[in-house]
Amino acid sequence: MPLESNCSLTYIQPSMLPRIIPILSIEGGRLVKTVKFKRPNYLGDPLNAIRIFNEKMVDEIAIVDIKVSKLKQEPNYKLIEEMASQCFSPLSYGGGITNLEQAKKIFDLGVEKLVLNTSAFSNPKLVNEIATSFGSQSVVVSFDIKKDFFGSPKIHCLSASKKIQKPINYWLDILQKEGVGEILLQDISSDGTFSGINTSLIEAIKEQVDVPMVYVGGVRSLDDIKLALKSGAQAVAAGSFFAYRNNDTHSILIDYPKYSEIKKEFGDTDLN
């Protein structure tokens, strides 16, 4: 199914406005979108999506390969190079990164930030190695959160198929000491649902985080993005919100809010 574009944004957003980030999932080189980290729906070619977002002049783009870590594969360097060469905004990449050599190779391809999940919890020293070599601002750790049977939020990895045993606050402390520059807080239960954001999760985490926190999950409107920022996130990322027309998962439309909409919603807003 071809991607549609609605090319309406013609101005770069001023830096005083919040970061609103498209986060794109890829699987086998294809652009997909999941619901609760399951049932990936094919959207099209990731390169086409990046070109559309270029026309929108987005703040930045995050790309996550949702399969390579699970399959214990190397990152798809050829595709990463193609995406980085097409992307006019800062690009983050996650998926399959297990050592410093891979990190260097991906940075050399033009990626600005690496998003770690599985490897950050199995080998926290990798965060320190990357931060020491390339700066803390280049390392993001994705905290993919889902409640367990008893209602307690737990970190998951490998596309939510594996639960991390130690508590969230333990890992926030460890990884910040290792030099992580940003936390990507993903609410698995809200992923792809258009059900609204999980403010309680943001509020529970914000007091334990001294680095920027980006929230992902359930966004259905600019009001939700504003609410996430007021709840304690420093930026908001979304997938389905930018991939579907009018929150309809049967109607694909790669889109991004007009500058005038963002300015109206956030230009004069006190988010502190």
| Positions marked catalytic | 144
The CA distance from 21 to 216, in Å, is 9
70 secondary structure, DSSP code: T
Judged by DSSP in three states, 251 sits in strand
State how far the alpha carbon of 85 is from the alpha carbons of 9, 109, 126, 263, in Å. Answer: 21, 8, 26, 29
The CA distance from 65 to 63, in Å, is 7
The CA distance from 121 to 123, in Å, is 6
Alpha helices by DSSP H, listed for the chain, are: 46-56, 77-86, 100-108, 118-122, 125-134, 168-178, 199-206, 222-231, 240-243, 259-266
DSSP class per residue in 192-210: TS-----HHHHHHHHTT--
